Amino acid sequence: MVRRRVPCDQCGDQAYHSQEASPQDRTASPQDDAQIFPVPHPTPSYWLSEPHAYANLRSTSCLLRECDVAIIGSGMAGVLTAYHILEKNPDLHVVLLDARALCSGATGRNGGHIKVQAATLAALPTDEERNAMQSFVGQTIRHVKTIVDKEGLTEYCEFELRHSFDVLCDIEAVGKVKSVYEESVKNGAEWTKEVSYLSKKMAERVTCVKGAEGGFSVQAASFWPYKFVAGVLAKLVERYGTDDEGGRRGRLNVQMNTPVTRISTSNPSPSDNNEISHLHTPRGTLSARNVVFATNAWTAGLLPSFTNTIKPRKGMASQYVRASPLPSLTKLTQQLTASYPPTQSTPTYQIPTTSTTPPPQPPTPQEQTTSTPAQTPASSSAAARGFSLPHPPYHSTTQLTSPQT
């Protein structure tokens, strides 16, 4: 597709001007109650507390008329899709849109664990499936690390390879997972080579979770997802972004605070089967030959066929604030996921501290929206980082990273 510079219906100009969204444009348009869209004023997230310079970027003051690829959603899925498309096909014109500011959805509302819990693996019916899941997670870790290293983002997004502990405080759950694990070990299953079992005594001693009945050590990667996404986008804008005159190469156009409220299609040439998608927004309509829905929990708002498959779900995240600053040499060295029986609602942590350092204060709740299935139990993040794949439905879960001086 050839991109044309055409007069803008709103300003009459060619509309190649770099501009951020004005405050009055930073909210989504009124929405039908029956539809599912991001709310215009979400609860502030701790992980968005250091907004990037491109948080409200609009590469041009007006929305373009057409593009080769339109990507809806500026979280990890959306920005990495743009990254790979432009790295492999630098001549394509890509428009990245988001209903709110950059990465304000689920990616910007969790602390960035890439891991799979031992209980998740044990819940799968065969070793073949467990091996495949473990392999997929390992590939994801390596893939993210490759981009972090290539783009020089290690320090900025705080990327680290670590081990994480799955701590089970339900003795029945420990028995189920351990039984599957031991049988798989006997069978030489590949997934067990990345997992090790912790006895009750060792789990409580190593993780400082009071009442631990057992646990597992698994491989993990830890990073700040918002900063990772913002860092990748900054590299893309530098290489492919539109400038004041339409671009050096001008292949990427970013439009934050531009909610897509409806999708329609047309076929301008009956002789071929290439439909054109039309993305309707309060700022005009964008036509694209290809559309990527990186919309996570909000997918059903634009694709009703997913209404009963993907549903928004509200979770809780917590930030622990100490009465006095941590010593400068303190490092968050331990990550864990603590799972409790459904009847136990208040977990107890024994976090290592020095005699001069007071214990953590009660957490302040933060809202997080995800698209995990409705039957998945609630989870919360505490202290530093916390994200993991869905786990079997006999737990409630709290994730914690504990400091060690």
Residue 81 has pLDDT above 70, yes or no: yes
**Percentage of the chain with pLDDT > 70?**
69
- What does the pLDDT look like over 14-69, one tens digit per residue? 443 333 444 333 333 444 445 688 888 888 888 899 999 999 999 999 999 999 99
* Close Cβ partners of 204 (under 8 Å, ≥ 6 residues apart): 210, 211, 212
Look at 98-107, 132-141, 277-286, 307-316 and tell me which has the smallest mean pLDDT.
307-316
Contact between 112 and 332 (Cβ < 8 Å)? no
Give the mean pLDDT of 386-394. Answer: 33
Q: What is the β-pairing status of strands 379-382 and 396-404?
A: parallel
pLDDT at 8: 52
pLDDT at 35: 62
Residue 390 has pLDDT above 60, yes or no: no
Contact between 164 and 113 (Cβ < 8 Å)? yes
- What does the pLDDT look like over 222-242, one tens digit per residue? 999 999 999 999 999 999 987
pLDDT at 46: 86
CATH class of 19-108+227-306: alpha beta
Residue 294 has pLDDT above 90, yes or no: yes
| Residue bearing tokens 């929206």 | 369
The residue ranking higher by pLDDT, 94 or 242, is 94
Nearest one of 30, 75, 12 to 256, comparing CA atoms: 75
Q: What is the β-pairing status of strands 364-370 and 331-340?
A: unpaired
- Domain borders along the chain are 19-108+227-306, 115-219+312-404
pLDDT at 20: 40
Contact between 395 and 377 (Cβ < 8 Å)? yes
Split at pLDDT 50, 70, 90, the class of 282 is very high
